[in-house]
A and B are shown apart, each in its own frame.
Chain A
Amino acid sequence: MKAKVYVTLKNSVLDPQGKAIKHSVELLGYQGVSDIRQGKYFEIALDGGLTEDDARQEATRMAREVLSNPIIEDFRVEIEK
């Protein structure tokens, strides 16, 4: 089983890296880009014996305590069987 965790900066937090990336994208001529926000993606291989609910709970706890900083970031967890 695999947990996928997406960590993104909260909307209220400025993302200077995202802004720089957007600038480069625009330099290359891409049209219609109103914003780019950079985030982090984690793939966590979990023990096959876990139920989906347990896996989600463990991954969520990990995301809250380690993978994200709740002061500046939000996260989302997906479980893949």
Chain B
Amino acid sequence: MKFGVIVFPGSNCDHDAYHVISKHVGQPVDFIWHRDTDLSSYDAVIIPGGFSYGDYLRAGALASFSPVMTSVKKFAAQDKLVLGICNGFQILCEAGLLPGALIRNRELHFVCEHVNVRVESTDTPFTHELQRGQVLKMPIAHAEGNYVCDETTFTELSRENRIIFRYCDAHGQATDETNVNGSRDNIAGICSPGRNVMGLMPHPERACEDALGSSDGRGLFHSLVGALAAAA
């Protein structure tokens, strides 16, 4: 199985994602420049965190118009796996691969800290090896992570069990105090109707080594590899 990490001008977690896939997951992985359009050799694509195009216009907006994103849309339409982390989540929303939008944090600050998120659904290729209700500690680092969507979208996400992570405390309680950025209903991550595209604001790729404060992110990548192995 082969992974691709997409690189935009301004991506800065591309090497972290590459490191985790090659070192912890032990799978082949390539960087894919945003002008490349051939994704045919990949089984899963990661859109990493960072500040693509300096967050000009809207976070993730200009990256969503990059040539590679047309290919990512086709890739996703073939039920292949796409994971967007932080800026990657913003790009997926701007590209219309995930519903809703990520706007400026409620308190306006850039928030850079470890937070807890609760696993809300294990029915995705990215979370099937986790437990529902499990609390994961992962870092966040963003100024635009405040998830908004209209009523219809929210109802759909809830009904289809597509809210995958919620900000919570260490015991798994999701309250307004644990809502680090003001996201609707504490949403930290969602998936597409086909469940093969997932976006989340926390950084699992920066939480794969105890030396970095948490290794809770590994479960996501192991799930991903497990899903690909099962499909092969």
Residues of A within 8 A of B (CB): 9, 12-14, 16-17, 20, 66-67, 69, 71-72
Contacts and interface: CB of A to CB of B under 8 A. Distances in A.
Contact of B148 (A66, A67, A72): A72
Contacts, number: 36
Nearest to A72: B101
Nearest to B109: A16
A7 to B, nearest CB: 9
Contacts of A20: 108
Interface in B83-106: 93-94, 99-101, 103-106
Q: For the side of the interface on B, what is the size category?
A: 20 to 34
Interface of B: 57-58, 61, 65, 93-94, 99-101, 103-108, 146, 148-150, 182
9 contacts: A13-B103, A14-B103, A14-B182, A16-B105, A67-B57, A71-B93, A71-B99, A71-B101, A72-B103
Contacts of B146: 16
A69 B64 CA distance: 12
B94 A69 contact: yes
B148 A13 contact: yes
Contact of A17 (B108, B149, B150): B108
Contact of B149 (A14, A67, A71): A71
A69 B101 contact: yes
A17 B103 CA distance: 11
Contact of B61 (A9, A14, A16, A69): A69
A71 B60 CA distance: 14
Given A71-B149, A72-B103, 10 more contacts: A16-B104, A16-B105, A16-B106, A16-B107, A66-B57, A66-B61, A69-B61, A69-B94, A71-B100, A71-B148
